[in-house]
Amino acid sequence: MVKRFLSVIAATLGLWAVPFAAVQAGEVNVAVAANFTAPMRKIAPMFEADTGHKAVLSFGSTGKFYAQIQNGAPFDVLLSADDTTPAKLEQEGQGGGKDRRYTYAIGTLVLWSKQPGLVDAQGEVLKTGQFDKIALADPRLAPYGAAAVEALTALGLLDTLKPKFVQGENIGQTHQFVATGNAALGFVALSQVWVPDEQGGKLKEGSVWRVPAKLHQPIRQDLILLKKGQDNAAAVALLKYLKGEKARAVIQSFGYGLE
Amino acid sequence: MVFSADDWQAIRLTLELAALTTLLLLIIATPLAWWLARSPSRWRAPVSALVTLPLVLPPTVLGFYLLVLMGPNGWLGQLTQALGWGLLSFSFTGLLIGSVFFSLPFAVQPLQHAFESLGARPLEVAATLRARPLDAFFTVALPQAKGGVLTAAILSFAHTVGEFGVVLMIGGNIPGQTRVVSTQIYGHVEAMAYTQAHWLAGGMVLFSFAVLLVLAGLRRGRDRVMP
Residue-wise pLDDT for B72-102, tens only, equals: 999 999 999 999 998 999 999 999 999 999 9
Question: Binding site for molybdate: what residues of A are annotated?
Answer: 62, 171
Please report whether residue B14 resides in a domain: yes
Please report whether residue A19 resides in a domain: no
Is A170 within 8 Å of A146 (Cβ atoms)? no
Strand order in the sheet with A165-168: A165-168, A134-137, A185-189, A109-113, A207-210
Question: In this structure, are A90 and A183 located in the same domain?
Answer: no
Please report whether residue B188 resides in a domain: yes
Question: In this structure, are A101 and A115 located in the same domain?
Answer: no
Of the residues A180, A185, A205, the best mutation for testing chain B's interface (the one with the most B CB atoms within 10 Å of its CB) is: A180
CATH number, domain of B154, equals 1.10.3720.10
Distance CA B88, CA B170 (A): 9
- Computed over every residue of chain B, the mean pLDDT equals 91
Is A40 within 8 Å of A30 (Cβ atoms)? yes
Question: Binding site: what residues of A are annotated?
Answer: 62, 171
Q: Does B195 touch chain A (CB under 8 A)?
A: no
Question: In this structure, are A240 and A155 located in the same domain?
Answer: no
Is A203 within 8 Å of A71 (Cβ atoms)? no
Contact A169 B172 (CB under 8 A): no
Question: In this structure, are A164 and A178 located in the same domain?
Answer: yes
Is B67 within 8 Å of B172 (Cβ atoms)? no
CATH number, domain of A88, equals 3.40.190.10
Please report whether residue B224 resides in a domain: no
Q: Around B121, how many Cα atoms within 13 Å sit in the side-chain half-sphere?
A: 4
Question: In this structure, are A239 and A184 located in the same domain?
Answer: no
CA distance B15 to chain A (A): 22
By three-state DSSP, how is residue A182 classified?
coil
pLDDT at A228: 93
Please report whether residue B225 resides in a domain: no
Residue of B nearest to A184 (CA): B72
CA distance A28 to chain B (A): 25
Domain of A57 in residue numbering reads as: 27-106+219-254
Domain of B43 in residue numbering reads as: 5-219
Distance CA B164, CA A31 (A): 24
Total Cβ atoms within 10 A of residue B217: 10
Please report whether residue A151 resides in a domain: yes
Top pLDDT among A39 and B220 is at A39
Is B66 within 8 Å of B169 (Cβ atoms)? yes
Contact A176 B67 (CB under 8 A): yes
pLDDT at B2: 84
Please report whether residue A190 resides in a domain: yes
Q: What residues are paired with A186 via a beta bridge?
A: A112, A135
Domain count, chain B: 1
Distance CA B19, CA B157 (A): 6
Q: Rounded to whole angstroms, what are the CA distances from A110 to A123, A124, A187? A: 10, 13, 6
Please report whether residue A178 resides in a domain: yes
Strands (E) across A66-131 are located at 77-79, 101-107, 109-113
Contact B73 A140 (CB under 8 A): no
pLDDT, one tens digit per residue, over B131-149 is 888 888 888 888 989 999 9
Contact B71 A61 (CB under 8 A): no
Residues 6+ apart with CB under 8 A from A51: A25, A234, A237, A241
Question: In this structure, are A149 and A166 located in the same domain?
Answer: yes
Of B72, B187, B189, the CB nearest to A67: B189
Please report whether residue B138 resides in a domain: yes
The pLDDT of B201-216, averaged and rounded, is: 93
Which of A210, A227, A242 finishes a domain?
A210
Q: Which residues of chain A have pLDDT under 50?
A: 17-23
CA distance B202 to chain A (A): 18
CA distance A139 to chain B (A): 10
Question: In this structure, are A127 and A197 located in the same domain?
Answer: yes
Long-range contacts of B207-212 (CB under 8 A, 24+ apart): B207/B158, B207/B161, B208/B158, B208/B162, B211/B154, B211/B157, B211/B158
- With beta carbons under 8 A apart, name residues in chain A contacting B93: none
By three-state DSSP, how is residue A209 classified?
strand
DSSP state of A72: T
Distance CA A69, CA A12 (A): 37
Distance CA A107, CA B106 (A): 45
Q: Does B98 touch chain A (CB under 8 A)?
A: no
Domain count, chain A: 2
Is B17 within 8 Å of B95 (Cβ atoms)? yes
Please report whether residue A101 resides in a domain: yes
Contact B86 A132 (CB under 8 A): yes
- With beta carbons under 8 A apart, name residues in chain A contacting B80: none
Question: In this structure, are A81 and A34 located in the same domain?
Answer: yes
Question: In this structure, are A41 and A63 located in the same domain?
Answer: yes
Please report whether residue A13 resides in a domain: no
Contact A141 B190 (CB under 8 A): yes
- Local confidence band at B62 (pLDDT 50, 70, 90 cut-offs): very high
Please report whether residue A185 resides in a domain: yes
Which amino acid belongs to residue A242?
L
Question: In this structure, are A124 and A190 located in the same domain?
Answer: yes
- Local confidence band at B156 (pLDDT 50, 70, 90 cut-offs): very high
pLDDT at A97: 82
Of A63, A140, A166, the CB nearest to B172: A166
* Angle of the B194-225 helix axis to the B5-38 helix axis, nearest 10: 30
Residue of B nearest to A166 (CA): B172
Residue of B nearest to A88 (CA): B192
- With beta carbons under 8 A apart, name residues in chain B contacting A140: 187, 191
Of B71, B168, B187, the CB nearest to A180: B71
Please report whether residue A1 resides in a domain: no
By three-state DSSP, how is residue A203 classified?
strand
Contact A180 B67 (CB under 8 A): yes
Distance CA B180, CA A139 (A): 18
- With beta carbons under 8 A apart, name residues in chain A contacting B67: 176-177, 180, 182
pLDDT at A23: 47
By three-state DSSP, how is residue B211 classified?
helix
Question: In this structure, are A113 and A199 located in the same domain?
Answer: yes
Cα radius of gyration rounded to whole Å, chain A: 21
By three-state DSSP, how is residue A257 classified?
strand
Q: What share of chain B has pLDDT > 70, as a percent?
A: 97
- With beta carbons under 8 A apart, name residues in chain B contacting A63: 189-192
Of A166, A169, A176, the CB nearest to B190: A169
pLDDT, one tens digit per residue, over B39-61 is 999 999 999 999 999 999 998 89
Is A86 within 8 Å of A92 (Cβ atoms)? no
Of the residues B65, B170, B173, B196, the best mutation for testing chain A's interface (the one with the most A CB atoms within 10 Å of its CB) is: B173
**Which of A1-10, A48-57, B163-172, B180-189 has the lowest average pLDDT?**
A1-10
Question: In this structure, are A194 and A175 located in the same domain?
Answer: yes
